[in-house]
Structure 1
Amino acid sequence: MDDAQKEIVERPKILEDQPLTNSNGVVQQTPEELVARAIAPVKKEYLRPPPARPSSTTQKDGVSDTNDKASVQSSLVKEKKSKRQLKRERRQEQKSARNICPVIAKTGDISACSYNEKCRFSHDLEAFKAQRPDDLEGECPFFKSERSCPYGWACRFSSTHIDGVPDGNLNSLKKCSEINGLKKDVQKLLWKNKKCFPKADAKLKDLGLLGPAKSKKKNLEDEEGEKSDLNNHHCPDGNGSCEVTHHPVTKIECFAEASQEADGDGEFESDVLRPSKKPKSTSEENCALSEAQNEGLSDIGQTLGANCNQAEPGDESEFIPPEADRSLKLHPREKMLIDFREKLYLAPLTTVGNLPFRRVCKVLGADVTCGEMAMCTNLLQGQASEWALLRRHSSEDLFGVQICGAYPDTVARTVELIEQECTVDFIDINMGCPIDIVVNKGAGSALLTKPMRMKSIIEVASGIVDKPITVKVRIGYFEGKSRIDSLIADIGCWGASAITIHGRSRQQRYSKLADWEYIYQCARKSPNNLQVLGNGDVFSFLDWNIHKAECPELSSCMVARGALIKPWIFTEIKEQRHWDISSGERLRIMKDFVHFGLEHWGSDTKGVETTRRFLLEWLSYTSRYIPVGLLDVVPQRLNWRSPFYFGRDDLETLMVSDSAADWIRISEMLLGKVPDGFTFAPKHKSNAYDRAENG
């Protein structure tokens, strides 16, 4: 979970004990005094008095009305529905005319669906046309592309289609400009827990992280089977490949799959095993490979990358090149590395950092993008919603994915799976997420208190793939304890090629300013093979320049909340200027987001409402931006609280509002009227941050 996502500070109101304005709304403090109090120094002519508060009588009446409504609602006892009844209602809803079969909607032919009467969607095209909502203004997002619209009659822009419903491939629902989708056959194997991870298991075994077997009998059977398999040079399926993969594997790995399938309970033995606090590793705690590692890799490398029925390993006439033998891991200094120096890095942002938002930031100047944080356990279960976080657009030329796991085995298998199924430039491991639900599972910031487990996770991940492994951390778990500077030299030796340090502790969350002096200290301590990136409160090109000037050892700065509030920060940094962006220019950026969203989530009713929801999540951040032309002191700081003020025009006044009703009005300007009964509350307003133990 990224640093920008869980800040819950609402747009602050005027402090009651020290009023900033008199009865006429005139500011009484100087800009310097306002800045000292962390209040935005908005020019006097744009200030407005705070809205009048309701009287005590009105408040009491409102409370009584609320209590009356609550009592009426409590008196209505809702019937508790069984799971079968809920499932039946969902099926009936799917069969309604609103949910037309995608094949029928695409082709317009009611006989085109191969499922016929067994289809779970409606085939009544005329009834769907009769009740479908009016088309939205504008043209279909797929109009200018070479492909036809994959939603046909269900598209909310169907009136712009040529000749009604255009022809096209029914399999074009997945956009050709997006990659990193999960294949259906692999997903089924993950569902059944039958996917084999030979490289991960081999590396875990090499590092001593697999632990003992479930029982002595099982352990003896494994040892006997392994010896027999090595002597006979025979694979269970006879062709040198595991049944569930298409990659050649060793005899050890083939036997591992056979023993796992014979277990009978559908689980890998290593799934229930967890590393000890001090894992037994055959490698030394330095950057060079030890002699024991070389011996282990050479033993595995004799058979990996070739069929099990090939020539004997001792036959020197057969040579396996490193390109074909993926087990012959490269030395850390021979791996492909990414130079993050001077590159503008958009942080992985949960919920708001989706693919359409990243496309907007790429247009505005971002160099490096990273997908939203994905949980390893969910990826290994084949959850489609989690795999959607790994999607990559063709415009993202330098792209990474961020994963979060608590144990070396889950991270190792996830890394191997991503290497097989995705095209990425680097893999980032989150070890700084402060959210309770993540920390309570032992992942995220919880790893900062367990250096040996951090070591195991980084070592096993970097030993499996050739892609660079990066790490994202906070300065510590508790304030003043578990500091990351004591580990900075070791992290580079464990196999990480870059580390991003957020200048706050887990206990601190998002209170106070980021400690950049401590980030500089870590950057100066880091070894030459480890790039250090700073993160926290970068909100203008001046912030960027100061951090780079004060610490030349710092490779770059990651931009998180600054990009959420004003994504044009990347343009400001590259052009070295404060952009006094107009409301019309901001609206055009939002239109680009909507267009990218309709391409990504779909132009049907479901896709339109999904785009609307993510647009509203983003507007809950952009409303905190104060235009440059309205400030007495430039630039705006992230910790400033804004007074009540007007914009320079009606649209700008609407954009700076902190009311969800005004955000919905902006969404209706771009996506039409909201459905009846529509409500919205931002996800980042979480009460989990109010707990005393979180500081």
Structure 2
Amino acid sequence: MKVGSLDIGQAIMLAPMEEVTDRSFRKICKRFGADVVYTEFISAEAIRRQVDTSLRKMRFDDDEAPVVVQIFGNSQEAMAEAAVIAASCSPAWIDINFGCPAKKVAGKGAGAALLKEPDKMVAIAAAVVRAVNLPVTVKTRLGWDRDSINIVDIVPRLEDVGVQALAIHGRTRSEMYRGVADWEWIRKVTEKARIPVIANGDIWSAADARAMFAETGADAVMIGRGAIGNPFIFAQARELLDTGRVVTHPDYRDRIAVAVEHLKLSVEFKGEKYGSLEMRRHYSTYLKGLPRVSRVRDKLVREPDWRNVIEILQAYEVECEGYEREGKIRDYAEFLNDHSKRLTLNY
């Protein structure tokens, strides 16, 4: 996996996710072995208007590198101007979001909506490539719907205008996140592409990551929802790829400790009020599958003081010790495998 001068081998990446892949979460995923991390996707119009909340999303520290800034929009002018501003933050490269299915993005003609306008999609990519000296990549989907899958036709056009890598989510826009990602279509892209292909969609475990490489022939894999509340997946995937076995097995203590670390970082970067509020979406995933967790989760999302949140989490850890003695704590890997959308343990 080589983009520009950066050669990162068989990379495992953190996908861009709105309100998830902020500085605090990127740092944690990086610590657990993510080779490349992406920012949240950021509106080009907001960047060019110097909206402070959007500009803050492009801030990152040296220990997160390599970091990719992802931008979205439906205007060549806005995207080129935003790319120049983003490049001033010195990311590893600029990524263009041509895949977001959300109504507030695609409904405004950006993100996955541009799969319906491949000429415009290519023109925007070309404008961004011309605007910056950094490598430019694209993240997209298979097509708008199952009747209009056009990604294989679009790939060479993006290559011709200078796009240096392509991340493919194995669903169409109309499928949103339903069903199972179509890895076979990703393989069709890798077979045709001259640039590196990053495979994305339904990586819920280390076994899924290895299977994604095997089934698609991709140069890298990108983990999105499977990393939420489970940053350990990066360490596990790397272990499985490099040694053939997983040695990182987080228990409830590890998960609670990382949730506390995540909260402290969120407060540090966003302040007590917003840092605490924005962490509320993460507690259910960090504690998923543990005994009587709904009662604890209700306390966590109602507590306004982040210090008290830590006390609640620490008290729950003590409670879980009792459940462990009673044999009521399930192995986390077993829980994840039971809830995965595909069985890949044969790889």
1:403, 1:561 → 2: CA distance? Answer: 19
Specify which of 66, 72, 75 is matched with residue 404 of structure 1.
Answer: 72
Show the counterpart of 2:15: 347
Specify which of 170, 174, 178 is matched with residue 503 of structure 1.
Answer: 170
SS in structure 2 of the partner of residue 565 of structure 1: coil
Show the counterpart of 1:620: 284
What is the TM-score when the length of structure 1 is the normalising length? 0.42
Aligned CA distance change for structure 1 residues 659 and 488 (closer, same or farther; 3 Å)? farther
SS in structure 2 of the partner of residue 558 of structure 1: strand
Specify which of 294, 298, 304 is matched with residue 657 of structure 1.
Answer: 294
AA in 1 matched with 2:135: P
Aligned CA distance change for structure 1 residues 671 and 660 (closer, same or farther; 3 Å)? closer
Deviation at 1:548, TM superposition (A): 1.5
- Give yes or no for contact 1:355–1:391 (8 Å, CA) kept in 2: yes
Deviation at 1:454, TM superposition (A): 1.1
Deviation at 1:671, TM superposition (A): 4.7
Q: Per-residue CA shift, 1:83-110, capped at 9, x if unaligned?
A: xxxxxxxxxxxxxxxxxxxxxxxxxxxx
2:154, 2:295 → 1: CA distance? Answer: 42
AA in 1 matched with 2:109: G
Show the counterpart of 2:316: none
Show the counterpart of 1:448: 115
Corresponding residue pairs, total: 304
Unaligned 5+ residue runs, structure 2?
A: 241-245, 313-347
Q: Does 1:439 align with 2:103?
A: no
Aligned CA distance change for structure 1 residues 337 and 669 (closer, same or farther; 3 Å)? same
SS in structure 2 of the partner of residue 423 of structure 1: coil
The within-5 A match list for 1:426-505 is 426-505=93-172
Bigger Rg, structure 1 or 2: 1
Aligned CA distance change for structure 1 residues 562 and 414 (closer, same or farther; 3 Å)? same
Aligned CA distance change for structure 1 residues 537 and 658 (closer, same or farther; 3 Å)? farther
Aligned CA distance change for structure 1 residues 480 and 341 (closer, same or farther; 3 Å)? farther
Deviation at 1:599, TM superposition (A): 2.3
Show the counterpart of 2:230: 566
Deviation at 1:391, TM superposition (A): 0.9
Specify which of 236, 245, 251 is matched with residue 582 of structure 1.
Answer: 251
Q: Per-residue CA shift, 1:548-595, capped at 9, x if unaligned?
A: 22343x111100001003111011112221744221111111121122
- Give yes or no for contact 2:300–2:309 (8 Å, CA) kept in 1: no
Instruction: Choose between structure 1 and 2 for higher RCO, CA contacts under 8 A separated by at least 6 residues.
Output: 1
Specify which of 8, 14, 39 is matched with residue 371 of structure 1.
Answer: 39
- Hey, which bits of structure 1, 4+ residues long, moved more than 6 A? none
- Give yes or no for contact 1:371–1:402 (8 Å, CA) kept in 2: yes
Deviation at 1:340, TM superposition (A): 4.9
CA-atom RMSD in angstroms: 2.2
Comparing 395-404 with 478-487, greater Cα deviation is found at 478-487
- Give yes or no for contact 1:434–1:445 (8 Å, CA) kept in 2: yes
Q: Does 1:514 align with 2:181?
A: yes
Show the counterpart of 2:267: 598
- Give yes or no for contact 1:365–1:570 (8 Å, CA) kept in 2: yes
- Give yes or no for contact 1:472–1:499 (8 Å, CA) kept in 2: yes
Of all paired residues, the percent bearing the same amino acid is 28
Deviation at 1:600, TM superposition (A): 1.2
The within-5 A match list for 1:116-515 is 336-419=4-87, 421-515=88-182
SS in structure 1 of the partner of residue 7 of structure 2: coil
Deviation at 1:455, TM superposition (A): 1.3
Show the counterpart of 1:535: 200
AA in 1 matched with 2:208: D
SS in structure 1 of the partner of residue 166 of structure 2: strand
Unaligned 5+ residue runs, structure 1?
A: 1-332, 602-606, 627-651, 674-695
